[in-house]
């Protein structure tokens, strides 16, 4: 049985501790924005864009209002639209597919592997048609997908590779930061992400100047000169307060990610309960553990057991994309992506945030190891 009985609840994610640590810095940054009145775009967003591009080792970064908009704008910048198809993992947050659908194109869903839970590269080619224009690889849970495998397929068929890095700020593939492996990479800075704004925000990185300039136009009503509009664009600018808060947090991202890695290492080494299966970690992937997901035969039973011990895990995600009602018109059936479907029915997200104490981590591990599925 667990060696410790904590009185405080341990949630899947708790942002209070992080913000208490940096509250004064955040308030000082907000005061500068208020004094400058640069609430939409402006110098505080530009500062963050410069620093985030450096973090990702890319030439450019474009701040937008959220990660879903980032995916949408990237699709538009690639010229993808009605009649086109884009390969998308079945196991991902639905926004990956929204970015395709918003353009009028069709997402084509591919199953994940049974161990890494990332898109199965060996299943992609059978889904490619004359209408396929791009593949979106998702660095899911903060762990990079098999970049090289997808690059080879894209080169073979003349397709664009787009990174959905919404959950992977600071993750690396073979020692190189994600964000520059595809033509563009899309990030979410939703508050719950490893690098989260004080509000909604997102970003796009690229090494190619023409995409950078096009994105600047698309996010700003199709305009680069005020009141002159060269194309139909959108109001998807990042706010100044979001840019300022992200600049403060970016300084702490390496230490926060390192703490998550420490916690993940303990989970990986000390969770010995054979009723729990952990995500496989290839040698080339350096995850930043936005989420730490396990699977178990009886998810409802595990949730109930953990709640009884004051641990409140998360669920990411209960329905795979191809079986969402929104995509019922595409005709997918149960069994089309069996690994993604199994994961959706059996996954559990363990507590994972940098402010977890060693005592809390040990308690979670002890409770999990004592779990028995009747």
Bridge partners (DSSP) of residue 112 are 119
Tell which phi-psi region holds residue 219, choosing left (phi > 0), alpha (psi between -120 and 50) or beta. Answer: alpha
Which of these is catalytic: 57, 193, 251, 261? 193
Q: What are phi and psi of 25, to 5 degrees?
A: -65, -40
326-358: b (≥16 Cβ within 10 Å) or e: ebeeeebeeebbebbbbbbebbbbbbbbbbbee
Q: What span, in angstroms and rounded, lies between the C-alpha atoms of 68 and 362? A: 36
Strands of the sheet with 292-295, listed across from one edge: 277-278, 292-295, 347-350
> 3-state class of 268 per DSSP?
helix
CA torsion angle for 254, 257, 263, 269 (degrees, to 10)? -90
Active site residue 16: no
Of 212, 192, 208, 167, nearest in space to 49 by CA: 212
Q: What is the DSSP letter of 71?
A: H
Q: What are phi and psi of 32, to 5 degrees?
A: -65, -40
Between CA 354 and CA 349, with CA 7 as vertex, the angle to 5 degrees is 45
- Catalytic residue set: 193
């Amino acid at each position: 049985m667990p060696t410790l009985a904590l009185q405080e609840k341990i949630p899947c994610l708790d942002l209070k501790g992080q913000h208490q640590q940096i509250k004064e810095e955040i308030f000082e940054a907000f005061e500068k924005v208020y004094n400058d009145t640069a609430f939409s775009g402006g110098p505080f967003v530009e500062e963050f864009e410069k620093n985030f591009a450096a973090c990702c080792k890319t030439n450019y970064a474009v701040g937008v209002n959220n990660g879903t908009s980032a995916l949408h704008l990237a699709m538009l910048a690639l010229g993808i639209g009605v009649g086109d198809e884009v390969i998308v993992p079945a196991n991902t947050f639905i926004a990956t597919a929204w970015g395709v659908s918003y353009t009028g194109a069709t997402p084509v869903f591919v199953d994940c592997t049974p161990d890494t839970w990332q898109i199965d590269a060996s299943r992609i080619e059978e889904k490619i048609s004359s209408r396929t224009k791009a593949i979106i690889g998702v660095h899911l849970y903060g762990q990079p997908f098999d970049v090289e495998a997808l690059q080879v397929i894209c080169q073979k068929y003349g397709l664009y590779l787009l990174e959905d890095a919404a959950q992977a700020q600071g993750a690396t593939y073979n020692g190189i930061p994600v964000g520059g492996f595809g033509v563009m990479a899309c990030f979410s800075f939703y508050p719950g992400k490893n690098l989260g704004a004080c509000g909604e925000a997102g970003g796009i990185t690229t090494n190619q100047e023409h995409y950078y300039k096009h994105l600047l136009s698309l996010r700003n009503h199709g305009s680069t000169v005020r009141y002159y509009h060269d194309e139909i664009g959108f109001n998807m600018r990042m706010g100044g307060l979001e840019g300022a808060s992200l600049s403060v947090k970016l300084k702490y991202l390496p230490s926060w990610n390192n703490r998550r890695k420490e916690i993940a290492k303990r989970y990986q080494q000390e969770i010995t309960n054979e009723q729990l299966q952990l995500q496989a970690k290839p040698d080339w992937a350096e995850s930043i553990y936005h989420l730490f997901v396990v699977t178990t035969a009886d998810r409802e039973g595990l949730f109930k057991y953990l709640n009884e011990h004051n641990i409140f895990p998360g669920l990411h995600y209960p329905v795979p994309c191809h079986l969402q009602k929104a995509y019922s018109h595409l005709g997918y059936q149960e069994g089309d992506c069996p690994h993604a479907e199994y994961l959706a029915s059996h996954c559990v997200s363990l507590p994972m945030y940098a402010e977890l104490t060693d005592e809390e981590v040990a308690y979670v591990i002890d409770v999990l190891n004592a779990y028995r599925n009747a």
